[in-house]
Structure 1
Amino acid sequence: MSLFSPPPAEERRRLDALRALNLLETPPSESYDRITRLASQMLGAPVAAVSLTDSHRQWFKSAIGTAGQELPRHQAPCAVVSTSGQMLVVPDMLEDERFASSPLVRAGIRFYAGAPLLTREGLGLGAMCVLDTVPREISPAEMQSLTDLAAMVMAQVELEHAFGRIDPVSGLPNRLQFLDEFAARPVVEAAAYGVALMVDLSHSSQFGQAVTVLGPAYVEAVARHGAEVLVRTLGGRNGLYHIGGCAFLALLEATRPGGWQQAVAALEEAFAAPVPFAEVPVKATPTFGIATFQPGQGSADDVLHAAASAADEARSAGSGASLYSADSHARSRRRLRLLADLVPALAAPDSLSLMFQPRIEIAGGACQGAEALLRWCHPELGAISPGEFIPLVEQTALTQPVTRWVIRRAAAQLAALRRDGLGLRLSVNVSALNLAEPDFTRHLMEALEEHGLEPQALELEFTESALMRNGDAALAQLRALRAMGVEIAIDDFGTGYSTFSYLQTLPANIVKLDQSFIRGLSASARDQRLVATMIQLAHDLGHRVVAEGVEDQAALDFLAAHGCEEAQGYLIARPMAEPALRDWLRAGVRAAA
C-alpha cells in the first residue's frame, strides 16, 4: 500500500463513496466555509481547507488563505490522511522526506495538521486541515478541536446527502436514491435481488375519505405507518425505498423463503391493523405491484416502471396484487396515452362530441329532456369507451377542463335545438370534484347566459356516493346552484350508501334510479320491491323520479303503476347525435314546450 493511496479494492470503494455524495466540482458553500474559518481561528493557522481526495488530486470543497482549488494527490499530506484514516501532524514539511518536494512546500507551506473525514463505514474521503508558513507544534487540545471540526464537516455532508435523498417522514431512501443505488450496484451484488415489490397505500376509497376528513397530516401518518410495517415485516431497511406519497418499493432477494408471495401475504396481514391517527383508527389497504428483474439487465427506471405498472393494473382490476406482464404494461401505457391525448382532443374540432339519450314523461309520453353523453373518437385508436376514459379523467386535474367542455357544448347545442322549436332540457354528468372549484357556478352561469338559456334549462347529475365523499363544500355549492334554479339530480340512486337523513340534506329535486335495478325488473320480485320502495322514498323526499335502463314494456308498465315520473333507456331510444335527435323528435315524439 502506498502512503498516498490504499489498496485498489479499498480505493474503488472509497471513490464510489466519495462520488456518490456529489461533492466534487460543486459551488462554494457557506456551511463548509463557516467550519473552515472556525478551524483557522481556533488553531491560529493562516490556511485551512476541507480537502477531498479524488483519484488524482486533492480538491478543496472549502479553503481560506489559498487561491488554488486543487493540487496533485501525489505528495499531498491530505492523501496520507484519507489513506490511513488517522490524524497527521507534520511540524516541518521541509524536513519530512515524504513532503519535502511537495508543491505545498514550494509554495512556502511548512506546517500541516489534518484530521480524517471518515464515512460511517470508515472510508476516508479527505481531510479537515490547517497549514502554516512557519514550522510549529500542535497541542493535544488543538488536535481534538481539529478532530471535532472534521466530524462537523461529515455531519454537514450527511445532512446534505440526506436532504433530497432520505424522506423526512418515513426515514427511508427516496426515489432518487433508488435510481442512483440501483445503477451503481455491482452485478455481483445485484444477483442477490430478483423481485421489485411496489406497495401503494394511497388508492383505496377509505384512504381518500380519510384524507378529506382528517387532512394532509393523515397522509404523513400513513407514510410513517407504512415504513414501520415494511421494516418490521420484511426484516430491516435494506432494499426499502419511499418512492413518493404513500408508495414504497422493496427489492426482495430471489432466494427469499416463500418468495414474493409470502412477503405479500405477510404484508397484507400486517396492514390489516388500522393506522393510528388522532385517536381515529383508519385502515390503509395496500395495493401490490410485482416485477421480476434480471440482475445486470435493464435500468432502475425500467424496474420501477414495471412495478408501478403492475400496481396500476391491480387497482384497475380491483385486486390486491398483480404481477407485471407485457399485457399489463401495454394497458398502463394506453391509460397514460389516453390522458396525454385528451388534452389536445379538448381543442380539436372533431375529437370529442356529445350524444343524447332522450327521456320521456311516462304518463303522457312527452320528451322532457335528454342526457348529454360525452364521446371520444381518437384519431388513431378509434372510439374510446366512456367507461375507459372518464374514470381516468376523474383521477386527474383534467376533470375541470373536460366538464367545462361538456357544459359549453351542451349549452350551445341546446340553444340550437330551442331555436328550432324543440324545448328540451339537457342533463349533464358532473363530477363532485367540480364542486370544489370556487368558480364552477360562475362558469356554468356564463355558459348559459352566452346562449340565452335560463338556469332551469340545464340539469346537473351527481352520483350519490361522490356527494358523500365531498362533504359540506359540495353541499354549499349545490344549494347555491339550486337557489339559482339549476335542476339537481342524484344519479345512480340506490347504489350508494347514503342514509335517509343524509339524503334529506341534499338540495336535489330529481333522483335517477340506477339501471342495475331496472334491467331485471320484469323478472325479479326482489328488484320490484326495491324499486317500489325507492320510488316511495324519493317521493317522500319531494323528488321527481327518473328510471334509467328501461328496456322492455313490462318494466315501463311497472314504473307507471308505481308513480315513476320519467323513463330513459333502450326501449325509448338509444344515445344519438344531435341531427338524429332532431329526426327522432320530429318523427312523432312530442318535445315538452
Structure 2
Amino acid sequence: MADFSHSGGEAALLQPRSDKPVMTFGPETLRDRTDLLREINLVRQGRLVERRLFLIVINIADTKKYDEIIRVFGYKFADDLLGIRLADLEFITRRQPAFHVGFWSVGLVFEADDERDYEAALSRLLGTLAKPLICRGIPVAIKGGVGVCDLARGLGSAEDLLQATFLAGQAGAELPSGWQECNYDLSDDHRRAFALIAEAEASLATNSEFELSYQARVDLRSWRCVGAEALLRWHHPTLGLVMPDEFVPLIEMTGLVRELTAWVLTRAVSQTASWHTAGFNLKTCVNISAKNLAEPDFVRRLAALLEQYRLPPAFLELEFSERHRFENMDDAEQHLWALRELGVGLSLDDFGTGPNGFTSLETIPANVVKIDRRLINSVANNARQQALVKSLIRLAHEMGMQVVAEGLELPATQKMLLDWGCDAAQGFLINRPMPAEPFMAWLSKAFVN
C-alpha cells in the first residue's frame, strides 16, 4: 500500500512517552510504516522490559466500504470521515505514536503496565470502533477490526509480525468480538502467503506479472471449438509461477478482489472482441469471486465494459464455484438475475463435489453446469462414477442447462460423455492452457470455427 504520511525519524521514536498528547491526531500526523517496523525492533531489543508490549493494528474500514462512501458522498466526505475516526482514537495515541500501515489502517506498539491495563485499553478501543460515525450530520456505519500481537511471543521478523497482525485485524472485523490475535506460526508457507498478499497490489499496478491463459471448450458432437476459459496466472519475479488456487483466496481476504476481477474482465473481454474481429466467434468463460456480487455496481460496470469493446453479452460467461458461499444470498441472486437479463451467461463450476450442489442448482440461475474434473478423470473405470455423471447430465438437461465436462484426458471418456449426451468438454485431450497469441495460432490450425 502507498504510504501518505511523514516520517518522524529515529530521534522521535526514542522520545520518552508521556500521558499527555504530543499532537492532535489526524491523517497528517500518522508516521510511516517503516518507522513502525523500526519501533518494533527497538522495543524487542529489551527496552522497557518490565512492561507488556503489544503490536496493535486497527483496520478502520475495508476498501469495499470506502468505495461505497466515495460513490455516494465523494472523496472529501471520505477524508473527513477518516479524520473523525482517527480523532476518536486519540485516547490511545496519547501514550504512543500511531503509524500508517495500509488502506485505512493504523498500527502502534502499545506498552501496557500490566494485564489489566492492556485489557482495559483493548476494551475501550473496541468500544470506540463500534460507535456510529456522524459526518456533516449523516450517520455512516463502518465496521472496524483490531489485530493484536504479543511481542513477547512473536519470534518472526518485524515485517512478518506486522503483516500477520494486519491480517488478524481484517479477520477480526468479521468476528463478533471485533478483534483477533495474530497467527504466530510464521512458517515458510505463512511467509509465502504474507508476501503474496503484500505484493499483489503493486503487481496489479505494474501490469506485467499477471497473465491470462486460455483453454478451449469444444462441442462434443461436432468437435468444434465454441469457447475458451480464461485462466489467471501470476508470474511472480521471485516465487515463479503462482497458480490461482493459491493466491486468489488470499486476495479475497483483502479489498483487492474488486481490482483483480476488473483486471481479468477487462483483458478477457478485450481479447474476445479481438478474436471476433479475426473471425473466431468464441465465447469466453471467466471465473468470478462470490465477493464480486457484493459490489453494488458490479453489473453496471460490466455492462459498460462490454459496450466499450462492442462485445455482445452472450459471448461472455461468468463462472462461480459450487464450493463458494455468497455473503448475502438475497443480494447475490438479485445481481445474478441482472446478469442474465443483461444477456451474460452463468456457469456453475466444480459441480458434483462441493457441499451445496442441489441447493446451488436451485438458487443460482445458471445456464451451464460444469462437472468437476475429479469426477471426469475417474469415470472411465468406475461404474459408480459413471452412474453419477450420467445422472448429473440428465438432471441438468431436465433443468434446461447445458453440461460441460472438465478435465477430459482420455478418448474412452470422450466417447462415454458423447453417448450420455454431454454437450461440451475441456481438458488436456483438447489443449493445455496457453496465452492468447499461441492459443489463436493453435485455434487456426486445429479447428475451423
Amino acid at match of 1:506: I
Instruction: State, as a whole percentage, how many aligned pairs show the same letter.
Output: 38
Amino acid at match of 2:202: D
Q: 1:369 aligns with which of 202, 205, 227?
A: 227
Residue matched to 1:280? none
Distance 1:303 1:504 in 2: 44
- Is contact 1:196-1:303 (8 Å) kept? no
Q: CA deviation at 1:424?
A: 0.9
RMSD over aligned CA atoms reads: 4.1
Residue matched to 2:176? none
Distance 2:344 2:23 in 1: 61
Distance 1:505 1:582 in 2: 36
Confirm or deny that 1:404 pairs with 2:262.
yes
- Is contact 2:217-2:226 (8 Å) kept? yes
Over residues 335-381 of structure 1, what are the superposed CA-to-partner deviations in whole Å (9 max), with x where a residue is unaligned? 24432432323xx3x43332110011112211111111122334455
Q: 1:21 aligns with which of 19, 22, 36?
A: 19
Residue matched to 1:474? 332
Q: CA deviation at 1:307?
A: 6.5
Residue matched to 2:76? none
Distance 1:339 1:402 in 2: 9
Q: CA deviation at 1:526?
A: 3.2
Q: 2:154 aligns with which of 272, 277, 291?
A: 291
1:337–1:548 distance in 2 versus 1, CA, 3 Å: same
Q: CA deviation at 1:544?
A: 0.5
Distance 1:458 1:388 in 2: 25
Confirm or deny that 1:421 pairs with 2:279.
yes
Distance 2:47 2:289 in 1: 50
1:19–1:444 distance in 2 versus 1, CA, 3 Å: closer
Bigger radius of gyration = 1
Confirm or deny that 1:331 pairs with 2:189.
no
1:362–1:485 distance in 2 versus 1, CA, 3 Å: same
1:250–1:518 distance in 2 versus 1, CA, 3 Å: same
Q: Larger RCO: Structure 1 or Structure 2 (Cα < 8 Å, ≥ 6 residues apart)? A: 2
Amino acid at match of 1:548: E
Relative to structure 2, which stretch is displaced further, 528-537 or 360-369? 528-537
Q: CA deviation at 1:504?
A: 2.2
1:291–1:520 distance in 2 versus 1, CA, 3 Å: farther
- Is contact 1:490-1:508 (8 Å) kept? yes
1:292–1:577 distance in 2 versus 1, CA, 3 Å: closer
- Is contact 2:369-2:404 (8 Å) kept? yes
Amino acid at match of 2:276: R
Confirm or deny that 1:522 pairs with 2:385.
no
Amino acid at match of 2:20: N
Q: CA deviation at 1:421?
A: 1.4
Residue matched to 2:97? none
Distance 2:442 2:355 in 1: 37
Distance 1:431 1:518 in 2: 24
Q: CA deviation at 1:179?
A: 7.6
Distance 2:365 2:341 in 1: 9
- Is contact 2:303-2:342 (8 Å) kept? no
Residue matched to 1:51? none
Amino acid at match of 1:352: F
Long gaps (5+) in structure 1? 1-17, 28-159, 161-174, 199-235, 253-289, 313-319
Distance 2:338 2:272 in 1: 23
- Is contact 2:373-2:405 (8 Å) kept? yes
Confirm or deny that 1:495 pairs with 2:339.
no
- Is contact 1:197-1:307 (8 Å) kept? no
1:572–1:417 distance in 2 versus 1, CA, 3 Å: same
1:397–1:302 distance in 2 versus 1, CA, 3 Å: closer
Q: Which secondary structure does the structure 2 equivalent of 1:189 belong to? A: coil
Q: CA deviation at 1:20?
A: 4.1
1:304–1:580 distance in 2 versus 1, CA, 3 Å: closer
Residue matched to 1:39? none
Amino acid at match of 2:394: Q
Distance 1:484 1:302 in 2: 46
Over residues 61-104 of structure 1, what are the superposed CA-to-partner deviations in whole Å (9 max), with x where a residue is unaligned? xxxxxxxxxxxxxxxxxxxxxxxxxxxxxxxxxxxxxxxxxxxx
- Is contact 1:411-1:451 (8 Å) kept? yes
Distance 2:303 2:312 in 1: 9
Residue matched to 1:383? 241
Q: 2:204 aligns with which of 343, 347, 357?
A: 343
Amino acid at match of 1:554: A
Over residues 359-406 of structure 1, what are the superposed CA-to-partner deviations in whole Å (9 max), with x where a residue is unaligned? 111122111111111223344554332233222222222212221222
Residue matched to 1:245? 145
Amino acid at match of 2:341: A
Q: Which secondary structure does the structure 2 equivalent of 1:466 belong to? A: coil
Amino acid at match of 1:587: K
Residue matched to 1:455? 313
Distance 1:553 1:535 in 2: 19
Distance 1:183 1:401 in 2: 37
1:302–1:447 distance in 2 versus 1, CA, 3 Å: closer
Q: Which secondary structure does the structure 1 equivalent of 2:154 belong to? A: strand
1:179–1:563 distance in 2 versus 1, CA, 3 Å: same
- Is contact 1:494-1:514 (8 Å) kept? yes
- Is contact 1:372-1:426 (8 Å) kept? yes
Long gaps (5+) in structure 2? 1-15, 26-35, 57-114, 126-143, 170-180
- Is contact 1:415-1:452 (8 Å) kept? yes
Q: Which secondary structure does the structure 1 equivalent of 2:355 belong to? A: coil
- Is contact 2:352-2:372 (8 Å) kept? yes
TM-score w.r.t. the length of structure 2 is: 0.63
Amino acid at match of 1:589: F
Within-5 A mapping of 1:169-568: 189=50, 237=116, 242=122, 245=145, 247-249=147-149, 291-292=154-155, 304-305=161-162, 308=165, 324-325=185-186, 327=188, 330-345=191-206, 348=207, 350-379=208-237, 381-466=239-324, 468-498=326-356, 500=358, 503-568=361-426
Q: CA deviation at 1:478?
A: 0.9
1:362–1:245 distance in 2 versus 1, CA, 3 Å: same
Q: Which secondary structure does the structure 1 equivalent of 2:365 belong to? A: coil
Distance 1:438 1:310 in 2: 25
1:520–1:322 distance in 2 versus 1, CA, 3 Å: farther
